Structure formats: structure tokens, C-alpha cells
Amino acid sequence: MKKLYKNLLFLIPFVATVSCTSELDNDPIGLLTLDQVDTDPTLETVESAVESAYQPLRNTLNGLIPDWRWDLGTVFRNDIILQDMAANDMNKKWNPDGDQAWMDEIGNFNFTPENQAFNGIWTYDYEGVSRSNLAIGFLTDEGIVGKTGISESRRNQLLSEVYFLRAYYYFDLVNNFGDVPLILKSPDSFEEAFSVSVRAPRSEVLDQIAIDLQSAKELAPRVKNDATDPWRVSIGAVIALQAKIALYNENWSEVLSLIAELDNLGFYGLNDNYFDAFDASKEFNDQEVIFAYDHRSGENPVNGNGLAAVAGWGFFAPTEDFLAAFEPNDPRLAYTINVAGQHSPKIMGAIDDYKGNDDSPGNKVYIRYADVLLWKAEALNESGKPTEAIPIINQIRERAKNTPTADGTVVPEATLAPREETGDQAQVRTWIQSERRVELGFESHRFNDLKRWGIAETVLQGLGKNFQAHNKLYPIPQTDIDKSGGTITQNPGY
């Protein structure tokens, strides 16, 4: 029986984009088939396959592809580049230099389809799809399920997790690239692998995402966290992602309905202290984080947050425009970026620790309740109820104001004054957009926000960036177009 390694390193749908050997470079899509992985899966195999599907969400250095492949954009997950740098919240480094110039190209919008940032996120997301498909294949195969002896409740839980994960990866893909290949099972042959090497319409992918999330919701245990592994996908994460997708589709009534459903669980609220959601010493003991990747120190293979090491090399500096977005004495600024210390506490998971540590335990937070509350405020405002949105904005501001500063002092009383009641929808919209930027800074949301609000061109060109209308979608990685023999087409404008 062939062994299924825990990290399933080579279960990649488009191997040609990430492989390091000439033999793999000659493969087409190259996804390993199920019989190549394991001819007799065990319960441990199935559990490992599910855990492996989480790993493309991590920021462990070389966590998926070894050997420091900066040329492939795969040293760590690229959200921070494609969101924060692209939106002009972040510069590549504190001291500009020529190192990794491809990141500067993203921030300046002077890139080509050969830029490795696109290959990097494409690789990570399709790796996640591939691993999710493998796990779904195991868990829906009655023969395999019978051999493993897995309980029905455990099977349902694991299926819920991987349906969510597949949906999450595909949602990221359509936001970045639009139409993308839709692969829902491990190909049985290279011929079948070639046949799926075409772009499906974005609407079709979104339909599949909705199906996956509905399945995940029906199967998920009705608990806040798994008692043994609190990092696992929960019913709350599923509902929150459904609400986020409704937000992006501007289905305001559905957003409000889903957030009401989430609130009815009684699991989530704002932490008293803004930084608790990011503090590595308080992971999974707070009430705000809904979904995060659990980085852990001291594991083999390494599973730490490698971005802390990258920060130690001088990366991830704020732009002056980002710093200016914060109101005077807002405690969130120092928790987001320590200008004097030249690092981001949010990214590292501690106020003054882990900088330079490539095995730090700080989690990557993907969804938290403050984000959800701002979705609710936006949905209310866009539904013509601005006066109902304002108390939510003020709730976010009040929590920030009541958070002690990073150096332990108390903020002045006049800090972050409440927004006044008004029926002016445009004014409330501006307040929500401003609040999202400072509340969620450096959490890889900003570029998607600018795009979905329809203001990316105005904002970024106003900052001197070369942003053009077609940049709302990134180019498909040129290597994948080439390897597909042209069956994967390029986005307009590239």
C-alpha cells in the first residue's frame, strides 16, 4: 500500500506551475490520481487528507513548495501582496530596495501575467482544491468509509470541513481571476486532467460554492469549536462565508438574514480588547475569531507563521496614506503596525515578540466578528437604513476606544467620537469604508473592498497608481495558459 504523507505535497492540480524537476515540468495538469496516492486508505489516511486540505491557508515559509521558490511566488501565501500591497496600504519594505521586485510591480500595477504573485496564489488555492477533492472522494466513497470504520458523526464533520475549504479556495480564485477551471474530483487519468483545463464561468463557480457551503452547513456540528481541535471549520465559519459571498453579490437581505442566523448561535461577539483576536497567547479562547489558520511552533514538519521571519528581513511597511487613515490616538494603529519597531503585531501574533522567528505561533485570522458587524452595517445602509447602521459603526469604534494602547496607557476621552445620527446614506457609506480600512488593516481585505465598492480606479489612480479598469481581475498565470496548450484563456487587457 502506498503511503499518504500528511502534507500531501504533490497533490497539485496544475503541477507544471510549481514543480522543481524536469519530469514534472513536462506533465500537463498532472494531478495525481487516487490510485497513485493510496490503494487502501485507512482512517488515519482520511483524517490526514482532511488536515492536509487546511495547509494551503498557512503562511509557513516553504510550507507547500520547498527550496525557496521566490521565482514561483510560493515561499508563503500571497494574500498580503495581492490585497494589502495592491491597495496601497502596504509597501514591500521599510527601506526600498531591489529585492523581490515582483512585489513592487503589484503595488504599482505595472505587472505582466508572468509575475509570480499570480502563480503563487493560483498554486496555493488549487492545491487547496486538490486536497479538498481528495478528502471528499475518500469521505463519499462508501467502500472506503466502510473499511475505515469512521463514525457517521465524524464523517459528517470532516465532510463539512472540506466542503467549506473547497468553497473558500474557489471564492478566492473567482475574486482574483474571475472565470477559473472548476475541478470537483481527482482526475482518473491525464486525459481527464486535460479535459478540465478550461475556465468555467464565474457564475458557475459561485453556484458550486453555494452548493458546497449548503452541504457544509447541513453536516456541521452545532458547536462553536471542536473540543479537541478548535482550529477546525465550524458551523459559524460556514454561515459567515455564506454572508460574505452574499455581501460581494450585493444581496443585502440575504446578508442580514445570514448574520441573524450567525448571531442566533450565540457564539460570537467583540472582544473587550482589540488585540485579543491576534494575540498568540489567547488563540481560540476569545469570542471574536470565527475562522483562522492555526500556526503552531515546534512541529515537524514546520507549521509556524513564517511572515514573522519575513518581517525581520524588513518586509511589510505601511504607506503614509495608510497611516494617515487613522484618527488621532486610535489604539488600533499601534496594534496593526509598530512604526518604531518596524513590524506588525497583528501579523506576528504579539506586540513585541516573534520578529525574525520563522516558527512563530501567531495565527492567520481569516474571518472575525468585527468584520461581520461591518458587513451588517453595510447591508443596512445599502438597504436604505443608514440610521440602523450607525450604532454598529459606533460599537466598533467604542471597542477600539476602550482598548488600552499598546504601551498600556489609556486613550484620551475625545478619541474616536461616535458618529452622529444621520439619514445621509452616502455619508454613512464613507464612514463604513473608512472604518473597514482601519479596523481590518493588514488583514488582506482592502483590495477586494475597493473593487466591490467600485472605487478602486478612483482611489488608486488618485494615489498615482497605474490601476486600469481591467486590473479588477488579475491575469491568469502565463505558465498555466502555456501548459494547457491554450485551452485556458487569458483575462482581457493582459
Q: How many domains does the chain have?
A: 2
Give the number of other Cβ atoms within 10 Å of residue 348's Cβ.
Answer: 27
- Among 220, 254, 279, the domain-final residue is 220
User: Do 196 and 340 lie in a common domain?
Assistant: no
- Distance between CA atoms of 107 and 85, rounded to whole angstroms? 5
DSSP 282: G
The number of C-alpha atoms within 13 Å of 110 and in the hemisphere containing its C-beta is: 8
Please give the residue that has the higher pLDDT: either 343 or 37: 343
DSSP 286: S
- Distance between CA atoms of 327 and 272, rounded to whole angstroms? 20
pTM of the model: 0.93
Question: What confidence tens digit (pLDDT) does each residue in 193-209 have?
Answer: 777 889 999 999 999 99
User: Do 199 and 227 lie in a common domain?
Assistant: no
User: Do 177 and 310 lie in a common domain?
Assistant: no
Instruction: Classify residue 458: in a domain, yes or no.
Output: no
Residue 424 has pLDDT above 60, yes or no: yes
CATH classification at residue 421: 1.25.40.390
Q: Which of these ranges, 23-37, 225-239, 282-296, 317-331, has the smallest mean pLDDT?
A: 23-37
Q: Which residues of 54-92 are buried (b: 16+ CB within 10 A; e: fewer)?
A: bbbbbbbbbbbbeeebeebbbbbbbbbbbbbbbbbbbbb
What is the pLDDT at residue 37? 53
User: Do 67 and 157 lie in a common domain?
Assistant: yes
Q: Which of these ranges, 16-20, 225-229, 294-298, 420-424, has the smallest mean pLDDT?
A: 16-20
Any idea of the CA torsion for 333, 337, 340, 345, to the nearest 10 degrees?
A: 120
Question: What confidence tens digit (pLDDT) does each residue in 101-160 have?
Answer: 999 999 999 999 999 999 999 999 999 999 999 999 999 999 999 999 999 999 999 999
Instruction: Classify residue 483: in a domain, yes or no.
Output: no
User: Do 199 and 236 lie in a common domain?
Assistant: no
User: Do 215 and 238 lie in a common domain?
Assistant: no
Q: What mean pLDDT comes out for the span 9-35?
A: 35
Question: What confidence tens digit (pLDDT) does each residue in 84-113 have?
Answer: 999 999 999 999 999 999 999 999 999 999
User: Do 10 and 146 lie in a common domain?
Assistant: yes
Question: What confidence tens digit (pLDDT) does each residue in 454-466 have?
Answer: 999 999 999 999 9
User: Do 306 and 358 lie in a common domain?
Assistant: yes
What is the pLDDT at residue 191? 74
Q: Give the mean pLDDT of the chain.
A: 92
Instruction: Classify residue 489: in a domain, yes or no.
Output: no
Question: What confidence tens digit (pLDDT) does each residue in 478-489 have?
Answer: 999 998 988 999
- Distance between CA atoms of 82 and 120, rounded to whole angstroms? 10
- Distance between CA atoms of 33 and 45, rounded to whole angstroms? 15
Instruction: Classify residue 467: in a domain, yes or no.
Output: no
- Among 220, 252, 286, the domain-final residue is 220
User: Do 208 and 231 lie in a common domain?
Assistant: no
Instruction: Classify residue 464: in a domain, yes or no.
Output: no
Residue 11 has pLDDT above 70, yes or no: no
Instruction: Classify residue 366: in a domain, yes or no.
Output: yes
Structural domain of 158: 1-220
Per DSSP, the three-state class of 365 is strand
- Among 165, 200, 220, the domain-final residue is 220
Cell triple for 178: 474571475
Q: What mean pLDDT comes out for the span 351-358?
A: 94
Instruction: Classify residue 488: in a domain, yes or no.
Output: no
User: Do 371 and 311 lie in a common domain?
Assistant: yes
What is the DSSP annotation of 32-79? PPHHHH-SS--HHHHHHHHHHHHGGG---TTSSS-S--GGGT-SS--H
Helix (H) or strand (E) segment spanning residue 102: helix 101-108
Which alpha helices (DSSP H) does 266-424 contain, by range? 307-312, 320-324, 332-336, 345-348, 369-382, 386-402
Instruction: Classify residue 490: in a domain, yes or no.
Output: no
Residue 74 has pLDDT above 60, yes or no: yes
What is the pLDDT at residue 54? 98
Name every residue whose Cβ is closer than 8 Å to that of residue 91 and which is 6 or more positions away in sequence: 85, 107, 317, 318, 319
Per DSSP, the three-state class of 93 is strand
Q: What percent of the chain has pLDDT over 90?
A: 87
Contact call for residues 89 and 447 (beta carbons, < 8 A)? no
Residue 24 has pLDDT above 80, yes or no: no
What is the pLDDT at residue 186? 82
What is the pLDDT at residue 39? 60
Q: Which of these ranges, 145-149, 212-216, 264-268, 408-412, has the smallest mean pLDDT?
A: 408-412
Per DSSP, the three-state class of 411 is coil
Helix (H) or strand (E) segment spanning residue 92: strand 90-93
Q: What mean pLDDT comes out for the span 365-391?
A: 98
Give the number of other Cβ atoms within 10 Å of residue 354's Cβ.
Answer: 26
Q: Residue 410 — pLDDT band, cuts 50, 70, 90?
A: confident
Nearest Cα to Cα of residue 217 among 159, 295, 130: 159
Q: Residue 409 — pLDDT band, cuts 50, 70, 90?
A: confident
User: Do 327 and 238 lie in a common domain?
Assistant: yes
Question: What confidence tens digit (pLDDT) does each residue in 158-180 have?
Answer: 999 999 999 999 999 999 999 99
What is the pLDDT at residue 23? 26
Cell triple for 155: 464523517
Query: What Cα–Cα distance (Å) separates residue 292 from each residue in 135, 240, 337, 436?
Result: 20, 13, 20, 19
- Distance between CA atoms of 144 and 360, rounded to whole angstroms? 37
Q: What mean pLDDT comes out for the span 380-408?
A: 97
User: Do 122 and 245 lie in a common domain?
Assistant: no
Q: Which residues of 458-484 are buried (b: 16+ CB within 10 A; e: fewer)?
A: ebbeeeebebeeebbbbbbbbbbbebb
Q: What mean pLDDT comes out for the span 352-374?
A: 97
